Amino acid sequence: MRYETLIGLRYTRSRKRAQGRNQFISFISLVSMLGIALGVAALIVVLSVMNGFQEELRTRILGVASHAQVTGAAGDMEAWQQAAQTAAEHPNVQGTAPFVQAQGMLSFDQNVRGVMVRGILPAEEDRVADFSKTMRVGTLDGLQAGGFGIVLGVDLARALGARTGDKVTLIAPQGLVTPAAVLPRLKQFTVVGIFEAGMYEFDAGLALIHLNDAQVLYRMGDRVSGVRLKLDDLFAAPRVIRELANRYDTRTVLSDWTSSHANFFRAVALEKKMMSIILFLIVAVAAFNIVSTLVMAVQEKTADIAILRTLGASPGSIMSIFILQGAIIGIVGLIAGVIGGIALATNLDVVIPALEGVLGTTLWNKEIYYVTEMPSKILPADVITITSVSFVLTLIATLYPSWRGSRVNPAEALRYE
């Protein structure tokens, strides 16, 4: 073992038997370790929640929406079969399904709710969405052409007080023009199923009916609103849309999930960046506490440094001793922070309910955060980045006090010894 390493380890271990002034140095060192540990743990937990939230939001949105869609510029599309066939010829398109989408109002037992009505073909909808996995009561097969059945989101059904078998009234905004007045179009639908996508926007505001029933209610004839597409790689959606755009005329509009739901993902990405910067500042403050620790250590060990210099130790060796001493403080804090952060991030489903029970308040409101549970996903790249940056900050913090220790003049230091 090199003598620099031996002395650095000895200085670090000696704090266990510290007395007097060394006790204060030990306390500052402990505070620095705890600060680094808390900062690193907080970074890992927050970034894991951000990653989980982003993935959960994307999964749940695309489980109900679509990777991409082809619609008519005027809001409807006549030759949708040809449009679907053209899209299906692309190698990255796995499935297509037509849809009718319009606004409406549902009424049941004096309860009224505005909804987004989507007409679908149940047999083809499973090719582009995951409704079959989210059904809590009934199935999509309950939607039959001419049967006027309807599938409601769980929160929408709860708000209306409707259950399967109940008849709800769907009011279309396009009215019937009569000599007396403009009358709204009404139609009774039977609730044949309830789904829970896990995203409040859809669970509280989406209703599914059969495509033919939607065409009759909204007087669309054989037209549809567009065709929904499912891709083999959702991140390839912008490229696929650009390639498909050359196959359609100007009366067709193509869009993908990155544009239709861009605000959600941009907000999450921006928040993730800002939280990372803020929490790295916490780590930086804790790391630079090491400066005060090592400055006091240099003052305490001035005589030892002078003796080492008289024995032939170079200024570089003295710097190495105190850099090692500060690095040990940082490494211990980093290890504790990484272990604590990973343990906390992987057990949020237990920690959050426990905190809610202790505090008597709701920490995770699905109406605000769009998803029903706090998600968490630990990415190895994030952990490596956090650890690397924190360790670099720790090393930077050791440079000035180590350099100051290497500049000690042996003659001046030993004059009164």
Q: Per residue of the chain (417 residues), give pLDDT as tens.
A: 676 677 766 666 554 444 545 566 667 777 778 888 888 888 888 888 888 877 777 777 777 777 888 888 777 888 888 888 888 888 888 888 899 988 889 998 888 898 999 998 888 888 888 777 888 888 888 888 888 999 999 999 999 998 888 999 998 877 666 665 566 788 899 999 999 887 778 888 899 999 999 988 888 888 898 898 888 887 788 888 888 888 887 778 888 887 777 777 777 778 778 877 887 787 787 777 778 777 777 777 777 778 777 777 787 888 888 788 788 888 888 899 999 999 988 888 778 778 777 777 766 666 555 556 677 888 888 889 888 888 888 888 888 888 877 777 776 666 655
- Whole-angstrom Cα distance, residue 37 to residue 380? 18
pLDDT for 18 equals 47
pLDDT for 95 equals 87
What single string gives the DSSP state of each residue in 209-242? EEHHHHHHHTT-TT-BSEEEEEES-GGGHHHHHH
- Whole-angstrom Cα distance, residue 240 to residue 243? 5
- Whole-angstrom Cα distance, residue 131 to residue 154? 13
- The pTM of this model reads 0.64
Residue 326 identity: G
- The single residue listed with the structure tokens 């849309």 is 241
What single string gives the DSSP state of each residue in 103-124? EEEEEETTEEEEEEEEEE-HHH
Instruction: Count CB-CB contacts under 10 A for residue 120.
Output: 25
